[in-house]
Amino acid sequence: MPVSWSLPLLLSILGCKDKEPEPVVEIESDAVVLRLVNPTDEDPFIGVSTLRLEVAVEGEVVATSEFEPGGSPDLGDLTDYGAARFRLAGLSGTEVLSYGRSSEVVLYPGADRSVPILFLPVNEVIPITADEMAADRSAHLATRLRDGRVLLVGGRAPDGFAAYADLELYDPDLLEFQSLGDSLPQGTTDLVGSWTGDYTELIVAGGTELQIGEVSTAATISIDAESLQVDIVDDMNAERSGHCFTIFKDTSGLALGGNEGVASGDYLKVDSNSGIWIWDQIDLKGLDESLVTGCATAESGKVFVQGLDEGSTGVFDYTDLARLQNSDIEDAFSPLSSGDDFLALEGAMLIPVPGDAVWVGGGIVRDLSDAFSNEPNEEGQLFLLDSDTFVTAAAPEVTRVDGSWDHWIEEGWAVLGCGSADGTAVNIQTRVELIELKTGDRLSTDVVMDRQRADCRLTTMLDGSVLITGGFSATQVGQSTAAVLVPYLGD
C-alpha cells in the first residue's frame, strides 16, 4: 500500500567555492535542503530575474514553483513518490540563462536530505577553478564510479615524452581532485578499460608506455569499484595499443587489434581453479584481427567488431545461447557479407544504443590499397546486431577522429567531444555535441570548448552535467585542467 506524506522544501543558496558547504538553515523533519554549488568563477545569476524549481519523477514534472532570487519556492504537498530529480532554471523572461539538476534522490517519510545542485550558465564549457587536477594529463582513461565520483587513470604529460602511472579521483560533492598515487606498472597513455556487468570491477588492458619512444604494452590491471584497490592481472598474449577491449559478460572479455605481427585475439576469463583473471590466446576463424580498430558490446552481450575490411568487421557472439549451440570460442566471430554500407574506419566512435544496436560515427575512412588514404567520415550509422546490417542514422555535426564520448542521462542520448577534425594533432576539434543517436534529435545550441583540448575526455555526471578532463599540448601548461558543461535541451 503506497504511503503519502508532505515534504517541506527549503532552498539554501551557497557561495561558489565552498569545499564543504553547510546549509544556512537547519534541516527540519522530512525536509530537503537544496545546495547550489559552483566550482567555477562564472556567476549564474547574471541577468536572472526569476527562478523556476521543478520536481520530476521518471521524467514527469510533479511539482513546480517560480520565485525571485533570494526567495523561497512553494511546492505545496508532495506525496507518493520515491526517486525524484530537482531541476532549477534561472530565467530572464522566458529565456533560460542558467540551469542545474540534482542526481536522482530517493525521498521517503522521515528522511532529511541535503541535495547539491550544480547551477551554471547553460550550454557553456566553463573551466573549473575551485580545484585543479593533480596532473595535467591527456589520452587518459576517465570513467564514472557508481557513487558519482570520476576515476582518472594514467595519461600523457604535457611535454609529450612522459606518461603518468597514477590514479586520480574527482569528487563532485567536495569539488575536489585527489591523487591516489602511482598504481600502474608503468606510466601509460591510450588506456582502454571496461566494467564488469555489475560495475564492481574495472579492467584496464594495454595502452602505450612512454619509455624510449612509444611502446605498446600487454599489462592488465583490475580496479575494485569500492576500495579502488589495484591488482595486477595476467598479461595479454600480445602487446596492444590503439586496440579494442570489452567485457562482454561478467567473467569474460575480448581484446583485438592494436598489435604488430600477432594474428590472434586475447580472451579474458576467470580461472575456474584459482578464481583469478587469466588470458587465453584465440584464433578466431576467418578474422585477421590485426585489422580490427574497435569494438563495442551491445545489450544482448554480442560484440560488434569494426575493422579495415569486411572480413575484420562483424559480430563476435559468445553469449550463453551461442555457447549452447557451439562451445568453441574460435567459431564465435561472423564477418560481414559484402555490402555497400560498409566503411573501413579507424578512430571511430562505437556507442551501444537501446535495441541491440551500435552507433558508428566519426573516424577516418581507410583504403588498404592506399597507405595515404585519410578521408574523415561524416556519416552516422547504426549496426543492427539481430540482422547484421548497417542502416543510416544520425550523423555528427562535425567530423571527429579519436573522439571521446559518454552516454547521457536520457536514454539513447550521448555527448561527443574532443578528438581531431582530420586525424592530425593540428586540427583539434573544439565542438561538443549532445545527440539522440537514433532519431537525430540534438542540442541545437553550438557548444564550444573553453580552449583546444587535445586528447581530452568527457564524463557524464549523475546530474547530467559533463566533466571535461585534461587535453594538453606543450604550450598549454598551467591552464585550468578541467571544465564542466551543464546541457539544457529546452522545454
Amino acid at position 476, single letter: Q
Q: How many helices (H) and strands (E) does the chain have?
A: 1, 43
Structure-block grid coordinates of residue 130: 575551485
> At which residue does the C-alpha cell 525536509 appear?
31
CA 115 – CA 104 distance, rounded (Å): 10
pLDDT in tens, 318-345: 999 999 999 999 999 999 976 778 999 9
pLDDT at 198 over 60: yes
Specify whether the backbone of 82 is left (phi greater than 0), alpha (psi in -120 to 50) or beta. alpha
Residue 374: per-residue pLDDT: 87
Residue 106: per-residue pLDDT: 85
Amino acid at position 251, single letter: T
Residue 29: per-residue pLDDT: 47
pLDDT at 3 over 50: no
Residue 20: per-residue pLDDT: 43
Residue 18: per-residue pLDDT: 43
Residue 474: per-residue pLDDT: 63
> At which residue does the C-alpha cell 587465453 appear?
280
What's the alpha-carbon Rg for the chain, to the nearest Å? 23
Picking from 140, 220, 97, 124, the residue whose alpha carbon sits closest to that of residue 459 is 140
pLDDT at 476 over 80: no
| Stretch 465-486: mean pLDDT | 84
Give per-residue burial for 53-88: e unless 16+ CB within 10 Å, then b.
bbbbbeeeeebebeeeeeeebebeebeebeebbbbb
Residue 264: per-residue pLDDT: 87
Query: What one-character DSSP code corresponds to residue 476?
Result: G
The answer to whether the beta carbons of residues 315 and 264 sit under 8 Å apart is: no
The number of beta carbons lying within 10 Å of the beta carbon of residue 49 is 12
Residue 72: per-residue pLDDT: 82
Choice among 24-38, 304-318, 407-421, 449-463 with the minimum mean pLDDT: 24-38
Residue 175: per-residue pLDDT: 93
| Stretch 8-13: mean pLDDT | 55
The answer to whether the beta carbons of residues 351 and 437 sit under 8 Å apart is: yes
| Stretch 357-362: mean pLDDT | 98
User: How much of the chain exceeds pLDDT 70, in percent?
Assistant: 90
First-to-last C-alpha distance (Å) of the chain: 34
pLDDT in tens, 270-282: 998 888 999 999 9
CA 18 – CA 464 distance, rounded (Å): 21
**All structural domains of the chain:** 9-121 (no CATH), 131-444 (2.120.10.80)
pLDDT at 7 over 60: no
Position with higher pLDDT, 120 vs 198:
120
pLDDT at 16 over 70: no
Query: Could you tell me how far CA 381 lies from the centroid of its own chain?
Result: 20
Q: What is the DSSP string of 123-161?
A: T-EEE--SS--SS--BS-EEEE-TTS-EEEE--B-TTSS
pLDDT at 385 over 50: yes
Residue 477: per-residue pLDDT: 60
| Stretch 394-402: mean pLDDT | 95
pLDDT in tens, 29-53: 467 788 899 999 999 999 999 999 9
| Stretch 180-206: mean pLDDT | 94
Residue 369: per-residue pLDDT: 83
Contacts of 378 (CB under 8 A, 6+ apart): 395, 396, 399
21 band by pLDDT with thresholds 50, 70 and 90:
very low
Residue 111: per-residue pLDDT: 64
Q: What is the DSSP string of 369-422?
A: TEEEEEEEP--EEEEETTTTEEEE-PPPSS--BS-EEEE-SSTTEEEEE-SBSS
| Stretch 52-59: mean pLDDT | 90
pLDDT at 348 over 50: yes
Q: Please report which helix (H) or strand (E) contains residue 182, including its range.
A: strand 176-182
pTM (2 decimals)? Answer: 0.93
| Stretch 349-355: mean pLDDT | 97
| Stretch 85-95: mean pLDDT | 95
User: How much of the chain exceeds pLDDT 90, in percent?
Assistant: 73
pLDDT in tens, 430-472: 999 999 999 999 999 999 999 999 899 999 999 999 999 999 8
pLDDT at 86 over 70: yes
Torsion angle of C-alpha atoms 461, 466, 469, 473, degrees rounded to 10? 170
Residue 23: per-residue pLDDT: 35
CA 144 – CA 87 distance, rounded (Å): 22
The answer to whether the beta carbons of residues 309 and 365 sit under 8 Å apart is: no
Q: Is the dihedral of CA 288, 290, 296, 302 positive or negative?
A: positive
CA 198 – CA 314 distance, rounded (Å): 26
CA 422 – CA 16 distance, rounded (Å): 38
Q: Which residues pair with 138 in a beta bridge?
A: 156
pLDDT at 28 over 50: no
